[in-house]
Structures are given as structure tokens and as C-alpha cells.
Amino acid sequence: MVRTSTGVVQVTSSDVRHSTPKVTVTQEPPTTSQTRTTPGPSVSRGPPTTPGPETLGPFLMSSTERWNTPGTTDRHPKLLDTSTVAGIADQTSSLTPGGGQEDAVYANTIQLFAPTTTPISCQNFRNHTSHLLKNNGFTREYEALPGDFCDSVNDAILPQNISRNRFKGLYPYDNNRVVLRPIERDDTDYINASYIDGYKESMAYIATQGPLPGTIPDFWHMVWSEDCGKIVMLTNLVEPPKVKCAKYWPDEAQSEAYGHYSITCLKVNTYSHYVHRVLSLSRSGDQENQEARKIHHFQFTAWPDHDVPNPTALVIFHTLVRHSPTLHEGPLLVHCSAGVGRSGTYIALDILTREAEATSCVSVFPTVRHIRRQRMKMVQNLAQYWFLHEALAEALESMDSVIMAHDVLHGSVWKSDDKTSQLPDGVRKKLLAQFQALDSQRPQPSMEQTKTARQQENVWKNRFPDILPVEEYRVCLWTPDESASDYINAVFLPSHYDHMGFIATQLPLADTVLDFWRMTFDWKVATIVQLIDGPPDQHSDGLFPVPGSHISLGPFTVCSKDASPWLHGIHRQTLMVQNKEVGDIWQSVQVYLVSSPDILNMKNTAPWLSLTKVLAQVPSQGTPPPVLIQCFDGASKSCFLIALAITLRSIDENGQASPYLIAHLLQNARPQAFMHFEEYEFLICCMVDHLRKTNKSLPDDQEVIDQSIRWQNENTYGNI
């Protein structure tokens, strides 16, 4: 990014790929509207009252027709000097009379240039985004989007409705707001929510603010009246120091009444980046019709306040929502806090992926322009507009990567007549194309992103000069030692349930064994898997004590309690670890030693499937400690095992998985993951074998595996 003397910031191609473009903030007074004294007619879902050329959706006419059709643009475009950058207005409002919160809401200025209005082919989309980045195109396109108050907002600012708005100056337009059916005579028909068109589908979405405590009954009334089967929530309830949304659902296995509706939380599954709840919605007091509707509630929990999330994580979440079935045919309901920034970004991503599936092209600017005319500030700022392109690029590259369990078990494409190959030729060809895309988009961390690993006092601790921990994912040590260094070549990687569920690390060097045990103790590691093949000098003698003995390293004593063969040539060892400076508390550690070349050459799926069943357990309570996976380079086999554990858990719980996206998510922290096609192919082979075995009966190893799991649950801590 380049900052000029006037304070204007330009996004440049030298910026880190996943960093957030910054923009200048200037003041712009809020627009005012006349107040109407009588509310409009009470109607249910229907077309806008004054349909324009784009009423039926942004893609019912071509991009050129939409741009050139009279009435479809606010202003005629004109070219700007390339040094001109749009400002993002920062309207900091006070409390509204009804309790609206103080927050920053953004609006673009009126400066314009000719944006990209023609569809871009999916194949060329990455090149297109690179061109925008190099030529300040993101900023210039963003400033060409419609501003605020494209239509009247009279209903939103009526005295009886103003307190129902979370933010001052952020209202739905009169012509396409969701109009509630009044249940009682004195009810208002107002809720801060807008219909949004989809790809060749009118009113495919509802974008709404996060409910206030007093509007929760209205929210559920809207869900019922509009026959919504899925709710997408893109905020946490609290993002310190601000309350972003009222909690509008009960805890698991609990019920709560909200106005005329009763909600029961049937199930909650918490994952590394999102939560999936299954809710039962029924209408109270309706004795003739005791209908209970199943509502799927998807909450994305990894969107940082005033920033953008990891695009791969959001695409994985979006893929789950897309492929989750529902019996209800109403709009997809999407909300964040204000219902414009994150919500607009997610809705635009969904529209564009559907356009890509139908036409192999995407129209980003026309799509965002259209949804902004339906709800103000959709895709709220420049950073989100840039992020939309990043997430869309990943979605396009992974579009055909989702594997459905039913297809593997019953689809003809997965059946092979070749007994020498585990996968059909057609599947292998598709996987090769996916791997090539994965390899071409492999992250390239900058020196700044790996600065700690490159410090003079740490360089010697790295086995390989090009396999370095990225700062954002680096594991830090707490237990002090003589060097006072917190560095070890190890990174956090997500599990299916926790964004820090695994630690991937290299085999320690002779002088970093103490750091290994510092890490094990500091992060309360209870399970270690060592994946080391090759000559004995690669096994780091002295890392683990031989059975019946102990080793002492600094303040640590590590005792071997027992050791025995486990399954498939894998050995299991039970260790007890004590830090003498902390007290007489021993930490139990279960170690699985995998050294057989027959296992590590990735030909036999059975040992790998057995290991993942031990690693990928549902936490019974709280957040479990990370599982430590160790291989020679800290990347190749460690990341493979972690990817396999996530993939199998995803396909078991959701009936679907995208190994491509899972592998790419791990590459963000360990770019050296999946360097070879054979690793990616074997990942799919393991998944297929897992599905076929579990579909018929439990594998023969299940009893032994269950015993290991019980041991881990019962013996994490103890006294020796």
C-alpha cells in the first residue's frame, strides 16, 4: 500500500495476499428524508411497489443492458485520473431515540470511473483480480458503486419504528423492505430487513440486522411468515467492546418463547470457524396447527471486527450452507450486526457462484451495484469489496471439489473396473486438475510474515531454511529457559472443531529437544503422533525415554510408564511429564510412534484411518488441548494426517467434504503441505475406503481404537 501526502491510501500489488486494504476515512453528513405520518399498507412477500428494469434479478438482462438501460444508473460514468482514490465516509452516529447503537457506518463518495461491467470468465478471474490490484482498480470500482439513500426510507424513520433500527442512518428502502403481517391490531409491520434478488431469482435472500432484544419476536415472525429454512449469521454476539446481536435462540436442549413463537434448540455442533445449530420453530397458541419447522442456523464465528476473515474458511462455510438441504422454500436469511457489510459480501458471493455454475462467468461489479440499490451499504467498504474478489476466486477454483458421501457410495463415476487402481481414471484426472490449481495458488509468505523464524538467534533451530512458521500461526513457548526465546519451528493448524486443534512441528534437532518439551508442557499436549521414516539418525534419539526409564531436560522430567505394539505396526507409549518448577503435578501424554516405511509410503489406508479415529474425537467438554503431529520436516506427513482427520470428520457429520479447500486452508500456515499429487490422491483414497468400510460395518480395529480413546479421556492428568 502507498500513502500519499494527502493521506490517501492506494492498494498495490505488493500488498500481502490476505492482508486487508486500508482506506482513508473522511466525514460525510448523513442524508435526511421526509417523515411520513401514516404507515404503508400491510402486505406479505411480494414484488417492490415500483418495479424498475432490474426488479426480477440482476442477471435477467446482460451486464451491458443493465449499464445502458435508462434509469438503472444513478450517474453516467466518467474516467478519473488514476491517482484519484475514493474516500470511505465514516458516519459516527449517536444513540437513536429507540436505542440504536453508536457505530461507524461507511459510504462511498460520488467520484466515478468506468468499472468492469462485462462478465469475466471464471478461468480468467485470477488474472482479472491481479489487474485490478496493479491498477488501483478495486478502489476505483468501489467508488463507482451507488451511494446511500437510492430510494425513500420513510417507513423506517416513523416514530413507532425508529427504535427498531440498530444503527442510526442505516434503513431498508420502502419499496423492497420486508413487511410483516401484523398479528395483533397495534403491531407495526416494520422490521429492518430487505429482500435481495439472486441469480435469475427475485427475492432469493433477506438481508437483515442482528436482532435487538425488543425485536426478537419480529425476527422469528419474519422467519415463519417467509418460510425460511436456513439462517446465516456472520457475527458473534459480542465483539469487544460492542454487543453485535441479541441472542435469539435458546441453549442446546432448551426451549424459549419469543412473542408468539417457541424455539427449541435440538442440536449444536461447534467447529473451528462456525457453529451449526438445528432449531425447532413452532407458533404458540395455534391449537389447530401444531406445526414444528426445522430451521438450520449457521453462524460463522471467524470474521474479525473491522477486518476480513480468511477467504478459505468462509468458502468452506459457504459450501456447507449451499449443500445443506431444507424442506422450506423461502429466502435464505442472512444477517450480521447491521445487515449490510458482511451480509452483503456473503450474499454477493452466493449470487456470483451460482452465476458461475450457470454461465462459467461472473459479474462482480454489476452484482454489488444491484444489491446496493436494494439495501444501502451492501458490501460496506473497500476492504470487503476486495475480499469478495479473493473469496470468489477461491470459490471458483474449488467449485467442483465438493465430494458427497452418497455419490462415492452409489455414484457410477466412483466405480472402477481397474483392480490395480483405487480410483477410476476420470476421478484421477479431475483430482490432478484440482492439485494443479492447489499448487498454483500455494501461498508465498513474505519475510515479514516469517520474521521471527529468520532472526539470527532462531535460524539454527530450523531444519530446512524454506520451511518456516508463519507469524499468524506460530506456536509460542512460555516456560522460560536460558535463551529467553519463545521460538520453536511449529504452527497451529485447525481441527474440525477448533482453529488451534493441532500443532504441526518438525523432528527436533539435538539442541531443540528441550524446546519440544517446553511446547508439550505449555500447551498441555496429551497426544503426540510421530511420523518418522528413514535411517535411525532421523529419529532423534533421546526425545522419548526407553520403556522403564526417564530423561531429564532443564526443569522437566519425562518418565516412560509403558510401551506396547498398537495396530498395523504402530507402537504406543505412555509418558508422564513433570515441570519441577511448577510442583508435583504430572501430565500424561500418549505417544503413537509410526516408523514403518510400509505405512509412511502411503500405499495402505488402514493405518492412517485408525490414527484419525483417535485424533478426531468430539470434545466432551470445554476445549481440548491441541494434538501434536510431528514429522521430519514438520509439513508433509503432518499436514496430510491433519487434512485426513478433518476430511473424514466433515464427510461423516455433514455428508460432504472438500479436500481441496481443507488442503488449501492448511497451506495458509504451512505452504509446504501437499507438495506432491500422490499425497492428494491418497487423501481421497483414504476417504473412499473410510466411507465404504463404515457404510458396511465397523472396521475390525474399532474395539482397540475405542480403548485408546477411553484412555485419553480418563488419563489426561494424574500422579505417578
Q: So what's the pLDDT on residue 175?
A: 96
Q: Which of 399, 423, 451 is the C-terminal boundary of a domain? A: 399
Q: Reduced to 3 states, what is the DSSP secondary structure of residue 146?
A: coil
Mean pLDDT, rounded, for 544-556: 91
Do 484 and 518 lie in a common domain? yes
Do 341 and 435 lie in a common domain? no
Give the least confident one: 243-257, 362-376, 408-422. Answer: 408-422
Residue 685 contacts by C-beta under 8 Å, 6 or more apart in sequence? 422, 423, 605
Q: So what's the pLDDT on residue 563?
A: 87
Do 351 and 413 lie in a common domain? no
Query: 625: domain CATH number?
Result: 3.90.190.10
Report the C-alpha gap between 414 and 400 in whole angstroms. 15
Instruction: Calculate what percentage of the chain has a pLDDT beyond 70.
Output: 77
Q: So what's the pLDDT on residue 534?
A: 58
Q: Provide the angle, in degrees to the nearest 10, between the axes of the packed helices 659-669 and 636-654.
A: 140
Do 166 and 303 lie in a common domain? yes
Asked if residue 263 is part of any domain, the answer here is yes
Evaluate if residue 646 carries a pLDDT over 80: yes
- Copy the grid coordinates of residue 39: 404507515
Asked if residue 46 is part of any domain, the answer here is no
Do 461 and 543 lie in a common domain? yes
Q: So what's the pLDDT on residue 412?
A: 72
Give yes or no for a contact between 479 and 555, defined as CB atoms under 8 angstroms apart: yes
Q: Which of 348, 377, 399 is the C-terminal boundary of a domain? A: 399
Q: So what's the pLDDT on residue 53?
A: 31
CA angle 558, 562, 566 (to 5 degrees): 120
Q: What is the pLDDT of residues 203-241, one digit of tens each?
A: 999 999 999 999 999 999 999 999 999 999 999 999 999
Report the C-alpha gap between 708 and 565 in whole angstroms. 12
Asked if residue 652 is part of any domain, the answer here is yes
Do 310 and 223 lie in a common domain? yes
Burial class (CB in 10 A: 0-12, 13-18, 19+), 575: buried
Q: What is the pLDDT of residues 572-614, one digit of tens each?
A: 999 999 999 888 889 999 999 998 888 888 988 999 999 988 7
Q: So what's the pLDDT on residue 228?
A: 98
Distances in whole angstroms, Cα of residue 555 to Cα of each of 521, 541, 547, 577, 613: 11, 20, 21, 10, 34
Evaluate if residue 528 carries a pLDDT over 50: yes
Asked if residue 2 is part of any domain, the answer here is no
Give the least confident one: 380-384, 420-424, 486-490. Answer: 420-424
Q: So what's the pLDDT on residue 418?
A: 52
Do 308 and 409 lie in a common domain? no
Do 369 and 418 lie in a common domain? no
Confidence of residue 560 (pLDDT cuts 50, 70, 90): very high
Report the C-alpha gap between 335 and 163 in whole angstroms. 18
Asked if residue 12 is part of any domain, the answer here is no
Q: What is the pLDDT of residues 318-348, one digit of tens each?
A: 999 999 999 999 999 999 999 999 999 999 9
Range of the domain at 159: 141-399
Catalytic residues: 336
Secondary structure (DSSP) of 446-505:
-TGGGHHHHSHHHHTT-SSTT----GGGBPPP-S--TT-----SEEEE--SS-TT-EEEE
Please indicate, yes or no, whether the overall pTM of this predicted structure exceeds 0.75: yes
According to DSSP, the residues that pair with 492 across neighbouring strands are 503
Which residue would you say has higher pLDDT here, 539 or 437? 437
Burial class (CB in 10 A: 0-12, 13-18, 19+), 115: buried
Q: Which of 352, 371, 399 is the C-terminal boundary of a domain? A: 399
Q: So what's the pLDDT on residue 541?
A: 65
Do 532 and 592 lie in a common domain? yes
Asked if residue 709 is part of any domain, the answer here is no
Instruction: Calculate what percentage of the chain has a pLDDT beyond 90.
Output: 63
Residue 484 contacts by C-beta under 8 Å, 6 or more apart in sequence? none
Do 641 and 578 lie in a common domain? yes
Q: Reduced to 3 states, what is the DSSP secondary structure of residue 138?
A: helix
Asked if residue 667 is part of any domain, the answer here is yes
Do 489 and 562 lie in a common domain? yes
Confidence of residue 413 (pLDDT cuts 50, 70, 90): confident
Q: What is the pLDDT of residues 449-471, one digit of tens each?
A: 999 999 999 999 999 999 999 99
* Helix residue ranges, H only, 533-635: 597-600, 605-615
Do 629 and 615 lie in a common domain? yes
> C-alpha dihedral over 413, 414, 419, 420, to 10 degrees?
100
Burial 602-622 (b: 16+ CB within 10 A, else e): bebbbbbbbbbbbbbbeeeee
Number of folded domains that form the chain: 2
Asked if residue 276 is part of any domain, the answer here is yes
